[in-house]
């Protein structure tokens, strides 16, 4: 196995506790459209783009709509989501985020963001963690949603590394598939039952802070 010298992070649910706000905003839209949307169903939306998420939601609710209507609903959901984001503070960082990023930086590991979110720059700025990243690849830079590997291949390229030299940290099944499809090692943040397919698992980054993983040298 090649030496791992690059780390690519998903954002929502890995570095920041925003996955719950995505869920609440979609749940609100579902309620307006007249159906209930559960946390279990929400797993299918993690890691995928805003429009694809809406399509999955509408399939669950058995609702048909034209493109214009879909655009309006996606925008509405995003406005509710951004209301939550505007209230974000450092408490939204998940356990170990800053400590782990600091450790990787100290060990000269290149760090990239690989997030499907178009709101990623806003979130990083609000939490003052933008400067940890050598490259930012987000929903504004990609055409194909996870599980397509495009986002992580672009992230690796942006930090001038081969895919096999990078590890991806992900909390979604689509994201883990994307990492493996791109030939990268995948660390699942969460449990194997909910997000199968990763090479190793941790409950959060704090758990990895005290391990030697990635930090030799
Ligand atoms: C991902 C989330 O990080 O970003 C998805 O896991 C979300 O749930 C996607 O749909 C797009 O986010 P945004 O902020 O561009 O609507
Ligand atoms: Mg995520």
pLDDT tens string, the chain, 217 residues long: the values are: 569 999 999 999 999 999 999 999 999 999 999 999 999 999 999 988 999 999 999 999 999 999 999 999 999 999 999 999 999 999 999 999 999 999 999 999 999 999 999 999 999 999 999 999 999 999 999 999 899 999 999 999 999 999 999 999 999 999 999 999 999 999 999 999 999 999 999 999 999 998 877 765 4
| Ligand approaching nearest to the C-alpha of 123 | 1
CB-proximal residues (5 Å) to ion ligand 2 = 10, 12-13, 171-172
Please give the distance, rounded to the nearest whole angstrom, from the Cα atom of residue 111 to the centre of ligand 2: 17
Cα torsion through 60, 25, 99, 170, rounded to 10: 20
Q: In 34-141, where does DSSP find H-type helix?
A: 39-42, 50-61, 67-85, 97-106, 120-126
Which atom of ligand 1 is least distant from the CA of 53? 10
- CA dist., res. 36 & res. 95, Å (int): 31
Ligand 1 probe mutation, 117, 168, 175, most atoms within 8 A of CB: 117
Cβ atoms of 13 and 120 closer than 8 Å: no
Bridge partners of 185, per DSSP, are: 167
Q: Is the dihedral of CA 39, 143, 120, 65 positive or negative?
A: negative
Q: How many CB atoms lie within 10 A of CB 39?
A: 9
What is this structure's pTM? Answer: 0.94
């Amino acid at each position: 196995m090649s030496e791992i010298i690059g780390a690519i992070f998903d954002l929502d649910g890995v570095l920041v506790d925003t996955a719950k706000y995505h869920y609440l905003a979609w749940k609100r839209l579902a309620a307006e459209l007249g159906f209930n949307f559960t946390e279990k169903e929400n797993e299918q939306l993690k890691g995928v783009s805003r429009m694809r998420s809406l399509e999955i939601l509408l399939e669950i609710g058995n609702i048909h709509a034209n493109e214009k209507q879909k655009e309006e609903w996606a925008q509405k959901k995003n406005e509710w989501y951004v209301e939550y984001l505007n209230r974000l503070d450092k408490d939204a960082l998940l356990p170990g985020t800053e400590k782990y990023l600091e450790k990787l930086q100290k060990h000269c590991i290149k760090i990239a963001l690989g997030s499907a979110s178009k709101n990623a720059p806003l979130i990083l700025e609000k939490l003052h963690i933008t400067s940890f990243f050598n490259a930012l690849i987000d929903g504004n830079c990609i055409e194909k949603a996870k599980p397509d590997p495009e986002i992580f291949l672009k992230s690796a390229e942006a930090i001038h590394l081969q895919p096999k030299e990078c590890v991806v940290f992900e909390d979604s099944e689509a994201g883990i598939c994307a990492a493996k499809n791109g030939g990268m090692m995948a660390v699942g943040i969460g449990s194997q039952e909910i997000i199968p397919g990763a090479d190793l698992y941790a409950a959060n980054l704090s758990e990895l802070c005290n391990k030697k993983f990635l930090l030799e040298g």
